[in-house]
């Protein structure tokens, strides 16, 4: 008899889901599944269990839930979602409430209402069957993170005050009353915008968080509210969109999104029609060497999901340029994680096929940090990091605009002159290449991307202004 406990971490969106159960009964549950559900089915086969329950901690805002996808693959399993906080769903769920318990052999899950991040949010205590009042762990969803807590401002200003107060009481009246040895298993890790400065460790304990988590150090609500407000990162554009998608019922796509191959001539015609958005997922140096005019550069790293969701339109299909078509399924899933599933096609043969046909290309010059330092007096420097990053240290005389504020185009609303050279930097060059490609698309002809950006600037020994 062995308890089953598997953690599935999805990089990019920094999402963590879980498979828990018991091989003596052959039953298991998945908590907060992502859309690519094959990983849970494979783990269940390996562990010799059947997935009988699908649990959600809340209506997610940062990724498209895979609950309906998993249910479709399993057939008989039910989706269990919170009935607290007047939660409403436009698809079939089994509503659960605080105190509801579910046993899987030696393991029992107990539902606890932990509002604050959202009104309906629940967490699941983990305990040995028969000793449910002595949990050894808790699946905290987006309520308590390692070194942080779930942000309460995703439902609009009119609900933020109330949710902030509920979060305060959830942290103090529930989590801080648990034993120090209880293990904390959150739904997100470092990199997610669902909380401020989430720690890098995948788990923690109540005792460690009690000592080190700043969100747990406040006895006064007004001081807590001030701290929460000051530390909140910008709200990505796809959060309110996915909130509605997940409440309505995310689509069942069955597999990675279908992305048909298009020969260069067809691809060119589709791009010229203006009905699709052109995205080049090659790395910044390849993109800089030559790309199709009007393309946005969002490189095929795990964070592709986050920046695609934040920068692209959900109303237009996507035309893709990729470096390696054998990675198309991986790329397609990373768009699907944030609900982007409509594709007009990809360029078959890539830029090699395009250039061999003699079709037009443009380049995006790259400026090294050494070149930037030498020519700084003749170049406008644009920092596209977040406000907190900009305030913590920047290149002297840099102008600032957060890259996400450029998603709908710049329309002349930038603190730089389009007739003078502009060097764009961020933390590593990834976001800078996104921003520079948007500037170029919108008519800025003297744009330079700075590869390595602030990381390279510091490593090269140049001064940082604070």
Contacts of 208 (CB under 8 A, 6+ apart): none
Report how many domains make up the chain.
3
pTM, whole model, 2 decimals?
0.94
- Are 274 and 234 in a shared domain? no
Indicate whether 466 belongs to any domain: no
- Are 315 and 244 in a shared domain? no
Tokens of 342: 């409509």
Best CA proximity match to 80, nearest among 7, 68, 186: 68
- In three-state form (DSSP H/G/I as H, E/B as E, the rest C), the secondary structure along 82-126 is ECHHHCCCCCCCEEECCCCEEEECCEEEEEEECCCCCCCCEEEEE
- Are 214 and 333 in a shared domain? no
Indicate whether 133 belongs to any domain: yes
Residues in the chain: 466
CATH of the domain at 63: 3.60.15.10
Provide the residue range defining the domain that includes 68.
3-248
- Are 117 and 202 in a shared domain? yes
Distance CA 309, CA 286 (A): 23
Choose one of 190, 218, 248: the last residue of a domain.
Answer: 248
- Are 416 and 340 in a shared domain? no
Distance CA 71, CA 432 (A): 40
Indicate whether 432 belongs to any domain: yes
User: Dihedral of CA 333/335/340/344: which sign?
Assistant: negative
User: Dihedral of CA 409/415/417/421: which sign?
Assistant: negative
- Are 124 and 225 in a shared domain? yes
Please say whether the beta carbons of 448 and 379 come within 8 A: yes
Residue 443 region, left (φ>0) first, then alpha (ψ -120 to 50), else beta? left
- Are 401 and 348 in a shared domain? no
Best CA proximity match to 166, nearest among 110, 209, 228, 210: 228
Contacts of 51 (CB under 8 A, 6+ apart): 19, 21, 28, 29, 30, 40, 41, 44, 70, 74, 77
∠ CA 56-60-64 to the nearest 5 degrees? 100
DSSP per residue, 8-36 = EEETTTTEEEEEEEETTTTEEEEES--S-
Tokens of 441: 């698309």
Best CA proximity match to 20, nearest among 97, 95, 129: 129
Indicate whether 465 belongs to any domain: no
- Are 195 and 317 in a shared domain? no
Distance CA 439, CA 231 (A): 29
Indicate whether 255 belongs to any domain: no
In angstroms, the Cα distances linking 51 to 15, 70, 80 are 20, 9, 13
Choose one of 356, 377, 394: the last residue of a domain.
Answer: 356
In angstroms, the Cα distances linking 86 to 97, 98, 299 are 11, 13, 40
Choose one of 303, 323, 356: the last residue of a domain.
Answer: 356
Tokens of 290: 């030559």
Indicate whether 38 belongs to any domain: yes
Per-residue pLDDT of the chain (466 residues; tens, 9 = 90+): 589 999 999 999 999 999 999 999 999 999 999 999 999 999 999 999 999 999 999 999 999 999 999 999 999 899 999 999 999 999 999 999 999 999 999 999 999 999 999 999 999 999 999 999 999 999 999 999 999 999 999 998 889 999 999 999 999 999 999 999 999 999 999 989 998 889 999 999 999 999 999 999 999 999 999 999 988 888 899 999 999 999 999 999 999 999 999 999 999 999 999 999 999 999 999 999 999 999 999 999 999 999 999 999 999 999 999 999 999 999 999 999 999 999 999 999 999 999 999 999 999 999 999 999 999 999 999 999 999 899 999 999 999 999 999 998 887 678 888 889 999 999 999 999 999 999 999 999 999 999 999 999 999 999 999 8
Indicate whether 361 belongs to any domain: no
Distance CA 72, CA 60 (A): 19
Indicate whether 455 belongs to any domain: yes
Contacts of 230 (CB under 8 A, 6+ apart): none
CATH of the domain at 393: 3.40.250.10
- Are 81 and 149 in a shared domain? yes
- Are 45 and 187 in a shared domain? yes
Distance CA 362, CA 321 (A): 14
Best CA proximity match to 169, nearest among 231, 228, 96, 221: 221
- Are 350 and 408 in a shared domain? no
- Are 14 and 100 in a shared domain? yes
Number of other CB atoms surrounding residue 107 within 10 Å: 23
Distance CA 347, CA 362 (A): 16
Distance CA 207, CA 184 (A): 10
User: Dihedral of CA 408/414/418/422: which sign?
Assistant: negative
């Amino acid at each position: 008899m062995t308890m089953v406990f598997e953690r599935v971490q999805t990089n990019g969106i920094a999402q963590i889901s879980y498979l828990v159960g018991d091989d003596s009964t052959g039953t298991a549950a998945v908590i907060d599944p992502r859309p690519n559900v094959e990983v849970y089915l494979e783990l269940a086969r390996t562990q010799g269990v059947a997935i009988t329950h699908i649990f959600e901690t809340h209506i997610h805002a940062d990724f498209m839930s895979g609950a309906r996808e998993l249910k479709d693959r399993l057939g008989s399993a039910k989706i269990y979602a919170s009935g607290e906080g007047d939660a409403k769903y436009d698809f079939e769920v089994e509503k659960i409430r605080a105190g509801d318990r579910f046993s899987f052999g030696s393991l029992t899950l107990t539902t606890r209402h932990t509002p604050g991040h959202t009104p309906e949010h629940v967490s699941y205590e983990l305990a040995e069957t028969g000793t449910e009042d002595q949990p050894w762990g808790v699946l905290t969803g987006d309520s308590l993170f390692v070194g942080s807590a779930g942000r309460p401002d995703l439902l609009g200003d009119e609900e933020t005050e109330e949710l902030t107060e509920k979060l305060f009481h959830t942290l103090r009246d529930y989590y801080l009353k648990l034993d120090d040895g209880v293990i904390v298993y959150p739904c997100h890790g470092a990199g997610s915008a669902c909380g401020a400065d989430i720690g890098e460790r995948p788990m923690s304990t109540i005792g460690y968080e009690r000592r080190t988590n700043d969100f747990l150090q406040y006895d006064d609500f007004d001081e807590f509210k001030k701290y929460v407000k000051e530390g909140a990162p910008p709200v990505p554009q796809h959060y309110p969109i996915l909130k509605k998608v997940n409440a309505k019922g995310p689509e069942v796509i069955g597999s990675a999104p279908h992305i048909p191959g298009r020969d260069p001539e067809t691809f060119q015609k589709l791009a010229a029609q203006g009905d699709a958005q052109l995205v080049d997922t090659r790395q910044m140096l390849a993109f800089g060497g030559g790309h199709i005019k009007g393309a946005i550069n969002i490189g095929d790293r795990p964070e592709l999901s986050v920046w695609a969701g934040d920068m692209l339109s959900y109303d237009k299909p996507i035309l893709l340029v990729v470096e390696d078509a054998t990675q198309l399924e991986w790329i397609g899933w990373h768009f699907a994680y944030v609900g982007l599933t409509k594709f007009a096609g990809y360029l078959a043969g890539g830029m090699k096929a395009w250039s061999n046909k003699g079709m037009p290309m443009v380049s995006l010059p790259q400026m090294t940090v050494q070149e930037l330092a030498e020519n700084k007096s003749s170049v406008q420097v644009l920092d596209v990091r977040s406000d907190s990053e900009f305030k913590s240290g920047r290149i002297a005389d840099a102008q600032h605009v957060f890259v996400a504020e450029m998603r709908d185009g710049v329309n002349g609303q930038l603190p730089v002159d389009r007739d003078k050279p502009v060097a764009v930097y961020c933390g590593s060059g990834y976001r800078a290449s996104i921003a520079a490609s948007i500037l170029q698309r919108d008519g800025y002809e003297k744009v330079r991307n700075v590869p390595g950006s602030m990381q390279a600037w510091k490593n090269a020994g140049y001064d940082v202004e604070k």
